[in-house]
Amino acid sequence: MTDLRRLLADPAFDRPPNADPAALHAHAYAALARIRAVAGPAPDLLADRDRLRDLATWTTVRDPLLFHLSVLHYCLCLNGIARFAPDPAAALARVGDDTGILLMTEAGRSNSHGAIATEAHYDTATREFTLRTPTPAAVKFPTNAAPSDVPKTALVYARLVTGGTAHGVFTFALRIGGPHGTPPGLRLSPVDGSTALPVDFAAVAFDGLRLPFDAWHSDGAAIDDRGRLTDPLGTPDARLRRSMSVGVATWHAITAAAAAAARAAATIAIRYSRTRLTADRLSGPRPLLDYRNQHIALLTALADACAITSLTEPGDPAPEPAGASTAWVPWSAVDPLLPLYKAVAVDTAWRAVTECREHCGALGYAATPKLLAYQSLMDAYRTAGGDNTLIRLDTARSLAAGYEAPEDDPPDEPRTAADFLALARSCERRLVATLRERLAQSRAVAEDEFGVWNGQLELAIETAAVHAERLLMERFAPEGGDLAALHGAAWARRRAASLQRCGLAVPASALERRAHELCDRLLPKVSSIVDGFGFEPAHLGTFLGEPDHLAAFADRYGFADLG
């Protein structure tokens, strides 16, 4: 999608300086409209993983807010309409130029996706649906539905009720904002949003809002003249899994966004560190990147960024953990791997971006909002798109229920990417065995499944996290060379406690020595690596990302005539 890359280099996509929230929101939605004109029809985009990856990449790098609005519009709202509407072409045509938003999450309960309480009551006399919010806990929040001049189509998740009987969760289309106004029965309350991800948040409730029959995305289900529902999926649980299947495109997009944010942050920090000179008494002026602590941190961030980028490329499917139903969230029932990839990508990117921001010193805060914006986006998506902790807990249930763990053949002294992968395999196998043993002990004394699991939740999260990190190494190790080895060495240093628990501890001095050797080999190549990402200064939006940050600073702020 080279047209999108060129488009987003336009200075018009810069956020307006000193804008109030309303002006910032108006600018963001206008920018999204320009992106939509280039990205093309939603069905074509969603069917092409490469194009979806490019959309996620370039919107994230240019402005994380644009990525967030894009994923809501394409991957969640329009994707849901295209999947579930009985006549997708007609339903998408009704959306027209509206911006798509999502009304799914409810305010009053953790993991509310699995127990949506908003109701859609069917009226046999009028063939209409009435949306109701039965309690404050069912209020939809957060969502970008604050009143504005922007026309929007919301994909509303609600439990269908016919003849007094509650059925599964379906989706409904609701048009609001701009010429659509605020329909009767819709209660909107604007909420002060985060300045880090400045979305036009609102809390939304329904008080008898009526929708026509064609607002219902029946997805093969039918209601007869007597109000009786026939759903070919058979059960509410199956319907919920189907309604949550919009997650597939969403997880692909979030993973690509995480990889892009990490690569962009590494590019900014490495370029800055190459031309930022020190003034200490040990060596006199020399680039920051010469210092061991600086380049260990930034090259590790670069290696991690490249590792999660490997998740955005087609690859052989990993063996799927199987055997247990979901308990915390429905995502793993939709796909056992994609939400886990999303979780490991986002957490890895958050760590990489944070390292890059901190190693840019004061300028990482004061000179640009970009690094904080990347970090905030990753913070948001630790929960959005499926909570990472809950995804890991459901994965741990599957790992404990019959999953065949990888072989246990640790290397004597890990040096290569393949060695660190073997170490991760052994660590995972032993953690799975420990988790199963602990659960068996708990099951002998606990009164219920909550009691069985509650004392083992920390171990469960650790086990699923190592499983995900091992899968990441499987994707990156074969082609990653020294970067993959550095990623593995950093993993072993970070997971020292897990390795010790499993009897696999590696001497810290050996890991430190190997990381130093790898960095010495990578340093001469680092500029060409980050240049290969293709991020132009206009995309990065900060003088820190210029080849010579000081010259760019002087030129931008009018000091080039000095000296």
Q: Where are the domains of the chain?
A: 2-95, 246-531
Classify residue 461 by burial, with Cβ atoms within 10 Å: 0-12, 13-18, 19+. middle
What count of other Cβ atoms lies within 10 Å of the Cβ of residue 453? 21
Q: Is 189 helix (H, G, I), strand (E, B) or coil?
A: strand
Is residue 448 exposed (0-12), middle (13-18) or buried (19+ Cβ within 10 Å)? exposed
In angstroms, rounded to a whole number, what is the distance separating the alpha carbons of residues 38 and 40?
Answer: 5
- pLDDT tens digits along 233-248: 999 989 998 999 999 9
Exposed/middle/buried for residue 156 (C-beta within 10 Å: 0-12, 13-18, 19+)? buried
Share of the chain above pLDDT 90, in %: 83
| Whether pLDDT at 396 is above 80 | yes
Residue 310, pLDDT score: 96
| Burial class (CB within 10 angstroms; exposed 0-12, middle 13-18, buried 19+) of 504 | buried
pLDDT tier at 323, thresholds 50, 70, 90: very low
Q: Is residue 121 within 8 Å of 132, Cβ to Cβ?
A: yes
- Kind and range of the H or E element at 85? none
Per cent of the chain over pLDDT 70 is: 96
Using CA atoms, how far residue 168 sits from 204, 215, 225, 298, 355, in Å, is: 21, 16, 19, 48, 44
Q: Which amino acid is at 52?
A: L
pLDDT in tens, 326-335: 555 676 778 8
pLDDT for 174 beyond 80? yes
Q: What is the pLDDT of residues 269-318, one digit of tens each?
A: 999 999 998 877 777 789 999 999 999 999 999 999 999 999 998 765 55
Instruction: Indicate whether this model's pTM tops 0.85.
Output: yes
pLDDT tens for 500-541 read 999 999 999 999 999 999 999 999 999 999 999 999 999 999
Q: Looking at residue 365, what is its pLDDT?
A: 87
Question: Any idea which of 39-53, 108-122, 221-235 has the lowest mean pLDDT?
Answer: 108-122
Q: What pLDDT score was predicted for residue 316?
A: 53
Instruction: Tell me what pLDDT residue 314 has.
Output: 74
Neighbours of 201 (CB within 10 A): 18
pLDDT over threshold 90, residue 258: yes
The CA distance from 413 to 423, in Å, is: 10
Contact 526, 305 (CB under 8 A): no
The answer, yes or no, to whether residue 1 has pLDDT greater than 60, is no
Confirm if 21 and 198 have CB atoms less than 8 A apart: yes
- Angle formed at CA 214 by CA 210 and CA 217, multiple of 5 degrees: 100
Question: Residue 16: which H helix or E strand, with range?
Answer: none
Nearest to 374 by CA among 216, 513, 196, 144: 196
More confident position, 457 or 197: 457
Q: Give the C-alpha distances (Å, rounded to integers) separating 366 from 288, 371, 375.
A: 18, 10, 15
Per-residue confidence (pLDDT) for residue 324, from 0 to 100: 44
How much is the pLDDT for 315?
A: 61
Residue whose token pair is 């919301």: 154
- Which is it for strands 119-123 and 202-212: parallel, antiparallel or unpaired? unpaired
Q: How far apart are CA 479 and CA 526, in angstroms?
A: 17
Q: Which residues of 476-495 are buried (b: 16+ CB within 10 A; e: fewer)?
A: bbeebbbbbbbbbbbbbbeb
Where residue 119 falls among pLDDT bands split at 50, 70, 90?
very high
Q: How confident is the model at residue 322 (pLDDT cuts 50, 70, 90)?
A: very low
Residue 154 has pLDDT above 70, yes or no: yes
Check pLDDT > 50 for residue 129.
yes
Q: How do residues 208-235 score in pLDDT, each as one tens digit?
A: 999 999 999 999 999 999 999 999 999 9
Q: Does 481 have pLDDT greater than 70?
A: yes
What pLDDT, on the 0 to 100 scale, is given for residue 196? 75
Nearest alpha-carbon partner for 28 in 1, 65, 2: 65
- Flag whether pLDDT at 386 surpasses 70: yes
pLDDT over 50 at 35, yes or no: yes
Supply the mean pLDDT for the chain: 93
Is the pLDDT assigned to residue 158 strictly greater than 50? Answer: yes
> Residue 522 in contact with residue 299, Cβ under 8 Å?
yes
Strands 229-230 and 152-162: unpaired
Q: For 430-443, how does the pLDDT look when each residue is reduced to its tens digit (9 = 90+)? A: 999 999 999 999 99
Is the dihedral angle over the CA atoms 539, 543, 549, 553 positive or is it negative? Answer: positive
For the stretch 235-240, contacts whose Cβ atoms lie closer than 8 Å and that sit 24 or more positions apart, written own/partner, are 235/168, 236/166, 236/167, 236/168, 236/169, 237/168, 238/168, 239/167, 239/168, 239/169, 239/170, 240/114, 240/168, 240/169, 240/330
In the predicted structure, residue 558 carries a pLDDT above the cut 50: yes
Residue from 492, 313, 472, 308 nearest 410 by CA: 492
At 542-554, the pLDDT tens digits run 999 998 999 999 9
For the domain covering 246-531, report its CATH number: 1.20.140.10
Task: Work out whether the CA dihedral 535, 538, 541, 542 comes out positive or negative.
Answer: positive
Per-residue pLDDT of 14-24, as tens digits, reads: 999 888 999 99
